[in-house]
Amino acid sequence: MNRFAELLDRLAYEPGRNNKLRLITGYFREVADPDRGYALAALTGALSFKHAKPALIRDLIASRTDPVLFGLSYDYVGDLSETVALMWPRRGLGNGESLPSHPSPQPSPTRGEGAQLRAPLSVSTTTNSDSQSDRRTSLTVPSPLVGEGQGGEYRGRDANESAHPANHNNPPPPTLTEVVTTLRTLGKTELPKQLERWLDELDETGRWALFKLVTGALRIGISARLAKTAAAALGDKDPHEVELIWPGLAPPYLDLFAWLEGRGDKPVNRDPAPFRPVMLAHAIEDTDFAALDPAEYIAEWKWDGIRVQAVAGRDEHGHIAARLYSRTGEDITGSFPDLVPSLRLPGAIDGELLILREGRVQSFNVLQQRLNRKVVSPKLIKEFPIHLRAYDLLGDDENDLRELPFAERRERLETFIGKLDDPRIDLSPTVPFASWDALTAARADPASAGAGEDADAVEGVMLKRRDAPYLPGRPKGQWWKWKRDPHIIDAVLMYAQRGHGKRSSYYSDYTFGVWTAGAGSDELVPVGKAYFGFTDEELLQIDRFVRRNTTEKFGPVRHVVHEPDKGLVLEVAFEGLQRSPRHKSGVAMRFPRISRLRWDKPPREADRLETLEKMLKAEAAEA
Amino acid sequence: MTRRCGVATYITGMRPQDILLPVAAGLCCKPGGFHIDPVRPVERAVITHGHSDHARAGHGAVLATQETLDMMRLRYGENFAGSMQAIRYGEEIRLGDVRVKFHPAGHVLGSAQVAVTCKDTCIVASGDYKDAPDPTCTPFELVFCDVFITEATFGLPVFRHGDAADEIKKLLASVTLFPERAHLVGAYSLGKAQRVIALLRQAGYDAPIYLHGAMEKITHYYQSRGIELGELRPVKGVKKAALAGTITLAPPSATSDLWTRRFPDPVTAFASGWMRVRARARQRGIELPLVISDHADWDGLTATIAATGAGEIWVTHGQEDALVHWCQSKGLRARPLDLVGYGDEEETETPLADEADA
């Protein structure tokens, strides 16, 4: 458990993805089965047991510490679990805070005899002193303080002592396996006693990690996908391979690790509706077209929804099992129960999840109301009817179609959707074009190129090679995405904050604002924050600007000069706008990034909030 | 404060506050005619250790250990005070009506607790101290006394510093795992940096260790006092690629600034007792917090207080409330001293500008 705790601890501070991977893979390499398997389960969210509530943790600490000291500590640390993990007292110290009993010292020789006399005296008399007069002095027991072990010599603490002064007779800390398997079977009433035992046995970091496990939220910035990628790296395997077999695996994943270490066969996924690693597109640049032949490509709309994979298959009893996966392989079926009945033909559809009202595709803002919901109410289902628009077919009944060229898969898809004949699932139309100029025109005006009234939900066009097989990842030259031009505004840099990891010496997170009428004169109101879109060279330039034009510092945040004639104008590109009561400006941007630095423009010429509000009205009209 | 019937009163007729009294300039000893660690220039100053919040320039006369005097000279120049007098650990001298004796505080090289005895009442002003082992300074010595003045930098039970050697293992494991990255360890330049280096050597790390310019003078001073720190090199002028897989010590404030750009993909570590609290580490953007402190932790503070045999505890700089509460719950008379001007050295240190930007 302590080794796992160490891993979580380090991961919680590590900002870099590759470094996180190295840390996790290193752990898998170093730690034996079944502990590492349970660690993988914890990181991928595959563990399930009854979770402890904060009230339980409060009760535990209240039974072991002085409430005043706990209160002061909690105020200082700010996080309940962390406070308790840090101050959890060692066993056998009665009323709370730990007190390793130092033997009293030999009186300093120069102090003379008076010292020996005075020590016991000074304590006994303090119980009568003013500061104690309002207390029950008879109850004050300064026993550990003096009068015992007079012969001992105070040595300070040696290294061993300071590490585990009271651990000599303690049982060893639990392994992760013990913790996980015990939690699975433990009755609710037994939980407090068990937690207490573990807290006694673990060190500070171990206790912190234990709380993370039992409260059910690791929150250390590790996705399931990342943990699986780290596991794959153990055996130099492609993460997609792990993803493919994942649904058939269960903790502690002995078969998976055996395969990764070359000691066993590849586990077989017996899942009737497995996830298939998704194929992704490269963003196309203007210069790419010259080398591409329009005849070799099929174009289709890129819908502004959520890319999903909808899979149905027959289980061993012949029943249909249906699942909806996000593009990272996360099972999101539970959030969209209304789509499940429509997935009744065995097969795997690659498509876009959208909200359709009276046949019209709604904006992404509308779809957002259905995302990340724990409870999907009938009302929600009714008001936000879910829809799947199909792009591709990866499997048709038992047949894996991924090796086939796209043009062929597309034909199969059309047949499949026709056979399915379901109002919730339709085909994403192709966009006919003969030349790049024709496609450019279609992209500029989707409404008159076939998208009709749904044109506002079109995010751009996709180009797919007719002969491209369905390959996992982002293979070169097969699929291209050609997004519509983003919205652009000119905003003024207001605040800058240091980045993380590699960027920790740079001011790389920027809050920008636009003008609005204030009391008396115009003022800037923040409308968003962006931390990418610029080149390395531009980052250096902005960083330099920030350092030279700071008006105030608040911890890691710098106020940067932003006056009508002094300041930096940033051209900000973004995908959409939403009303947001949390922002002072009342609007929130989707996917904002810095597209250009406008050194040439004085701040007073930057955009106004009214411009954004107009855009918002246009978007709201769709919703 | 009208009536006191502590032991000091009825045995000696002398109240502790007649001997030492907190005033604006610091802790004033009237019968001895001096201040301890004064924050403003005074006529006669007794200095516990060389950290800048305790040892300031501009006093008339300074009494301190040789090491502390040397460090003040390094920091402030030859004329940092009108006159200086060195005192050894265990040496006692008379100042006015009191006797003053220095005892090792285990905080940094040359750090001392100052025992002030007037008639039969002994007050120990411990300055900053730690009871954990430290290869770079004389171990803390417990002094029996009537009144113990303790710091409270880490005066909350959440602060428990484990074995520093384990933290060094963490650092070395990271260096092994990321051989292509530089490891940048933020450490206060007086004491902490040298302790980290010495601990690295104890752990068997024998590669050259690199130093930020602001670290060099004081570290070389430690070496001149016979503390073995192995091969040290200035980081200035070293090529970026050559710093892969190395360890560099720097003042904490330098580890998050422009200066770090000379390192290949640096892992930012920070050696401090504050690293026990996650928010503190995250706030500073630390990737590898190392809980290594030159102050006593909660267990150290409480154990030391108990062991001094003092019946009265004065608590200063830090988390006074919790420690005062603890003392009182153990039947000790205790009060916060409310001295101002003493900070946490790590929070206040800024490297010299030219070194930071170099």
Q: What is the pLDDT of residues A519-571, one digit of tens each?
A: 888 999 999 999 988 988 899 999 999 999 999 888 778 999 999 999 999 99
CA of B66 vs chain A CAs: smallest distance (Å) = 22
Q: What is the pLDDT of residue A500?
A: 75
CA of B302 vs chain A CAs: smallest distance (Å) = 7
CB contact B293 to A (< 8 Å): no
Is the Cα torsion angle A356, A357, A358, A363 positive or negative in sign?
Answer: negative
Q: What is the pLDDT of residue A166?
A: 45
The answer to which of A470-484, B152-166, B202-216, B334-348 has the lowest mean pLDDT is: B334-348
State chain A's mean pLDDT as an integer: 84
Quick one: angle between helices A204-215 and A54-62, nearest 10? Answer: 140
- Look at A145 and B332 and tell me if their CB atoms are within 8 Å: yes
Of residues A204 and B255, more confidently modeled: A204
Q: Dihedral angle at the C-alpha atoms of B88, B93, B95, B97, nearest 10 degrees?
A: 140
Work out the average pLDDT over A433-458: 90
Of residues A500 and A353, more confidently modeled: A353
Residue type, A172: P
Chain A residues in contact with B15 (beta carbon < 8 A): none
Work out the average pLDDT over A317-337: 89
Distance CA B298, CA B151 (A): 11
Q: What is the pLDDT of residues A133-167, one digit of tens each?
A: 333 333 333 333 333 333 334 445 544 444 444 44
Task: Kindly give the pairing relationship between strand A306-314 and strand B34-36.
Answer: unpaired
Segment (H or E) for A312: strand A306-314
CA of A417 vs chain B CAs: smallest distance (Å) = 51
pLDDT grade for B341, boundaries at 50, 70 and 90? low
User: Can you give the three-state secondary structure of chain B, one letter per residue?
Assistant: CCCCCCHHHHHHCCCHHHHCEEECCEEEECCCCEEECCCCCCCEEECCCCCCCCCCCCEEEEEECHHHHHHHHHHHCCCCEEEEEECCECCEEEECCEEEEEEECCCCCCCEEEEEEECCEEEEECCCCCCCCCCCCCCCCCCCCCEEEEEECCCCCCCCCCCHHHHHHHHHHHHHHCCCCCEEEECCCCCHHHHHHHHHHHCCCCCCEEECHHHHHHHHHHHHCCCCCCCEEECCCCCHHHHCCCEEEECHHHHHCHHHHHCCCCEEEEECHHHHCHHHHHHCCCCEEECCCCCCCHHHHHHHHHHHCCCEEEEEEECHHHHHHHHHHCCCEEEECCCCCCCCHHHHCCCCHHHHHC
Residue A542 and residue A568 in contact, taking contact as beta carbons nearer than 8 Å: yes
Q: If you count them, how many residues does chain B have? A: 358
Distance CA B337, CA A380 (A): 61
- Look at A162 and B132 and tell me if their CB atoms are within 8 Å: yes
CB contact A72 to B (< 8 Å): yes
Most B CBs within 10 A among A23, A127, A131, A508, hence the mutation to make, goes to: A131
Residues 6 or more apart whose CB falls under 8 angstroms from that of A422 comprise A342, A344
Q: What is the pLDDT of residues A166-190, one digit of tens each?
A: 445 567 899 999 999 998 888 888 8
Q: Which of B159, B162, B177 is opposite residue A22, by nearest beta carbon?
A: B177
Q: What is the pLDDT of residue A216?
A: 77
Q: Which of B106, B156, B160 is opposite residue A72, by nearest beta carbon?
A: B156
Residue A311 and residue A323 in contact, taking contact as beta carbons nearer than 8 Å: yes
DSSP alpha helices (H): ranges in A154-300?
Answer: 159-163, 176-185, 191-201, 204-215, 224-234, 239-245, 254-260
CB contact B331 to A (< 8 Å): yes
Q: What is the pLDDT of residues A75-121, one digit of tens each?
A: 999 889 999 999 999 775 444 344 444 444 443 433 333 333 333 33
Chain A residues in contact with B286 (beta carbon < 8 A): 13
**Cis amide prior to A252 (ω within 30 degrees):** yes
Cα within 13 Å of Cα(A119), Cβ side: 25
* pLDDT above 80: residue B350: no
Residue B186 and residue B252 in contact, taking contact as beta carbons nearer than 8 Å: yes
Q: Which of A12, A86, A203 is opposite residue B158, by nearest beta carbon?
A: A86
Chain B residues in contact with A135 (beta carbon < 8 A): 328
* pLDDT above 70: residue A518: yes
Radius of gyration of chain A (CA): 32
Residue of A nearest to B10 (CA): A125
CA of B79 vs chain A CAs: smallest distance (Å) = 34
Q: Which of A86, A125, A504 is opposite residue B7, by nearest beta carbon?
A: A125
Residues 6 or more apart whose CB falls under 8 angstroms from that of A189 comprise none
Cα-based distances in Å from B159 to A71, A86, A145, A245, B111: 14, 7, 21, 45, 22
Chain A residues in contact with B326 (beta carbon < 8 A): 66, 69, 97
Q: What is the pLDDT of residue A485?
A: 82
Q: What is the pLDDT of residue A554?
A: 81
Cα-based distances in Å from B355 to B102, B242, B257, B352: 35, 20, 12, 5
Residue of A nearest to B257 (CA): A505
Those of residues 140-199 in B touching chain A at CB distance below 8 A are: 140-144, 146, 156-166, 170, 174, 177-178
Work out the average pLDDT over B237-247: 95
Distance CA A410, CA A417 (A): 10
- Look at B11 and A69 and tell me if their CB atoms are within 8 Å: no
Among candidate residues A348, A386, A350, the one with its CA nearest the CA of residue A367: A386
Tell me the two tokens of residue A87: 């101050």
The answer to which of A39-48, A482-491, B12-21, B266-275 has the lowest mean pLDDT is: B12-21
* pLDDT above 60: residue A273: yes
Chain B residues in contact with A73 (beta carbon < 8 A): 156-158, 322
Residue of B nearest to A116 (CA): B144
CA of B146 vs chain A CAs: smallest distance (Å) = 7
DSSP, residue by residue, A67-107: HHHHHHHHHHH--HHHHHHHHPPPTT-SSSS----PPPPPP
Q: What is the pLDDT of residue A285?
A: 85
Work out the average pLDDT over B109-131: 96
Radius of gyration of chain B (CA): 21
* Terminal alpha carbon distance of chain B: 55
Query: Long-range contacts made by residues A603-606, C-beta under 8 angstroms, separation at least 24?
Result: A603/A492, A603/A524, A603/A562, A603/A563, A603/A564, A603/A565, A603/A566, A603/A567, A603/A568, A603/A569, A604/A515, A604/A564, A604/A565, A605/A490, A605/A569, A606/A489, A606/A490, A606/A491, A606/A492, A606/A514, A606/A515, A606/A569
Q: Which of A69, A140, A160 is opposite residue B322, by nearest beta carbon?
A: A69
Longest CA–CA separation in chain A, Å: 107
Q: What is the pLDDT of residue A169?
A: 57
Of residues B223 and A126, more confidently modeled: B223
Residue A117 and residue A74 in contact, taking contact as beta carbons nearer than 8 Å: no
CA of A312 vs chain B CAs: smallest distance (Å) = 43
* pLDDT above 60: residue A363: yes
Report the range out of A101-105, A371-375, B201-205 with the highest average pLDDT.
Answer: B201-205
* Prediction ipTM score: 0.89
Is the Cα torsion angle A483, A487, A488, A491 positive or negative in sign?
Answer: negative
Known catalytic residue at A302: yes
Q: What is the pLDDT of residues B44-97, one digit of tens each?
A: 999 999 999 999 999 999 999 999 999 999 999 999 999 999 999 999 999 999
Q: Interior CA angle at B216 toward B215 and B221, to 5°?
A: 105
Q: Which of A87, A119, A162 is opposite residue B163, by nearest beta carbon?
A: A162
* pLDDT above 80: residue A301: yes
Q: Interior CA angle at A334 toward A331 and A339, to 5°?
A: 100
Q: What is the pLDDT of residues B209-238, one digit of tens each?
A: 999 999 999 999 999 999 999 999 999 999
Residue of A nearest to B158 (CA): A87
State chain B's mean pLDDT as an integer: 90
CB contact B202 to A (< 8 Å): no
Chain B residues in contact with A78 (beta carbon < 8 A): 279
* pLDDT above 60: residue B151: yes
Q: Which of B5, B144, B163 is opposite residue A115, by nearest beta carbon?
A: B144
Query: Catalytic residue among A302, A476, A502, A617, which?
Result: A302
Report the predicted TM-score, pTM, of the whole model to 2 decimal places: 0.74
CB contact B91 to A (< 8 Å): no
pLDDT grade for A223, boundaries at 50, 70 and 90? confident
pLDDT grade for A619, boundaries at 50, 70 and 90? low
Q: What is the pLDDT of residue A104?
A: 42
